[in-house]
Amino acid sequence: MDLRRKGCLILLLVLVLVVNIVKGDNNVVFNVKHKYGGRGGSVLNELKAHDSRRHGRMLAAVDFQLGGNGQPTDAALYYTKLTIGTPPKDYHVQVDTGSDILWVNCAGCRRCPSKSSLGIDLTLYDLKASASGKTVSCDQDFCTDMFNAPYSDCRVGAPCEYQVTYGDGSSTSGYFVKDYIHFDQVSGNLKTTSMNGSIAFGCSSSQSGELGSSTQAVDGIIGFGQANSSLISQLAVSGKVKKVFAHCLDGSNGGGIFAIGQVVQPKVKSTPLVPNEPHYNVVMKGIEVNGKALDIPTTIFDAGSNRGTIIDSGTTLAYLPNKVYNALMDKLMVKQPDLPTHLVEGSFHCFYYRGKVDDGFPVVTFQFASSLSLTVYPHDYLFQVNDNEWCIGWQDSGMQTKDGKEITLLGDLVLSNKLVLYDLENQSIGWTEYNCSSSIRIRDETSGKDYTIGAHNISSASTCNSRMVFAFFVLIISILCNL
C-alpha cells in the first residue's frame, strides 16, 4: 500500500487478532482474543459495521499465541498482546492482514482511548521511557521506502510522519519510532525461546472517529500486508524470517494457529496471487452448489482489470456481487422450498430450523485458478442467533471499485477450519481443510529440522480451549498460546 505523508491510507481488509507474545524458540506467538461478545440479532449490525469499516483499506520461526473466534454472534474479531521496549511493556493490538504498518497509542496522544470493555489494561507507549527506543527521521531509508518516493518537505532530522484513514472516516496520525519488539522463537516441538528485533512502527499522537471513541478499544493495530513497512517484511529484510505465514482459525472452539514459516504438514495446494495488488487477491473461476455450477459469467468475479477475489481473514462474513449473491441464495433453499425466511437487521436472511443444517442445506464450493477449490459447509455459512433461529452469512457486497465493478471478498465465514498459507516469497496463497485445534509442522531452515506448533486460544481468561496460532516462520514457526 502507498502511504503518503499528507495522504490517507485506507486500511482495507483488516484481520483483527489480539496477539500475546509468548516465549519460544525461533518463533513468535500471539495470543488472540475475540473483540465482540454477545449473541442474537443485536450484534449483527455491529458485525456489518465492522466489515464495512475494514473496506472503507534463515531463519527461525516466530510463534504468536492467538485467541478469539470468528463467529458472527460472538467475538468476530481478534487481537493479540505484543511486548515492546526496554524495559518491555505489553500492548494489545489488532492483527490485520489488510494493512501494513504496526502502530500503537503513544504518551500525549489526543483522543486516544483510556479504557476498554475487553477486560484489558490499555498502555501508552512512551519513547522517553524506553532505553532502546528512538525516532525515525524523514531522511532515513525507511521513511523513503514507506512512501515509495522522497519524503516531501523533509528537513534532516525531522520526524517521519504518517496518517492512516479507515473506511468509516476514523483516523490515526503520528510519527514513526524504532524499538525492540520481543518475540518467542520456535526452538523445538512445542518449545520456544526469546528473541527480539528492532522494528519501526507508528507512534499515534492523535485519533478521530471510531478509533478514539470505541469502548472495545485496544492499543493499536499490527499489519501483515505485503508492503516493505509491515512487521513481517522488516523481519525478513533483517534475515530473521521469510515472508511466509499461515493461520488456521478454529470455527468450532475458537482460537487456532497463526505462524510465520514454511508449513510442511499438512500439505497445502496453492493458487497464484494477482500481482501488484495491496491485498491478497486470487482468480476465482466459478461456484458450485452441491456439485453443480451456478449459471453466472466468470467475468463477474473480476474487480477492475482482472483483479480477482480478495481473501481476508480479518473480515467476518463473505461478500459477493449482486448477481452471484442472488443466484447462490436461490440455490441454498432448494431443499427447503416451504421454509419461510425473515430479515434481521435489514440484510441477514434468517429462518427457524430444528434439524441438522448439514443435512438440510447444500455444500458450496468455490473454484480458483490452478484447480484449487474451497469447500464451505452449511455449518460454516449458517450461524445460530437464537434457539432454532439461523441466519445466512452470505452478503450482497454493495462495495464498488472505481470502475464500478462489485468486489468479491471471502472472510472468516469461508476460511474457518482451514489452514491458509500465505507465501509471499512465491506470490501464492493456498489452503486445506484442517482441524485447527490440533497442530502443524513447520521447517526451521537454519537447522533443516521440522517442528510441531500447537493451537492456542486466549479468548477465555481461565481456560485453554481452541487455538489459533499465528506462527511466524522465517525463524521457524511459533506455537500459539492456548487459553
26 backbone dihedrals φ, ψ, rounded to 5°: 55, 25
| Catalytic one of 96, 100, 179, 250 | 96
> Active site includes 387?
no
Contacts of 273 (CB under 8 A, 6+ apart): 280, 281, 282, 427, 428, 429
Q: Which helix (H) or strand (E) holds 49?
A: helix 42-54
As a whole number of angstroms, the distance between CA 342 and CA 352 comes to: 9
121 in catalytic set: no
Cell, residue 36: 465482540
Distance CA 326, CA 27 (A): 45
Q: Which is nearest to 23 in space by CA: 181, 187, 183, 179? A: 183
Count of residues in the chain: 483
Q: Which of 312, 380, 423, 444 is catalytic?
A: 312
- Spatial distance between the Cα atoms of 372 and 168, rounded to a whole number of angstroms: 34
Separation in Å, CA 310 to CA 12, 125, 288, 407, 449? 10, 33, 18, 8, 34
CB 408 within 8 A of CB 225: no
Grid coordinates representing 21 are 507474545
Burial of 256 (0-12, 13-18, 19+ CB in 10 A): buried
26: left (phi over 0), alpha (psi -120 to 50) or beta: left
Amino acid occupying residue 362: P
C-alpha gyration radius of the chain: 21
- According to DSSP H, which parts of 386-436 are helical? 412-415
Q: What are phi and psi of 216, to 5 degrees?
A: -95, 60
Query: Rounded CA gap, 225 and 10, in Å?
Result: 13
Residues noted as catalytic: 96, 312
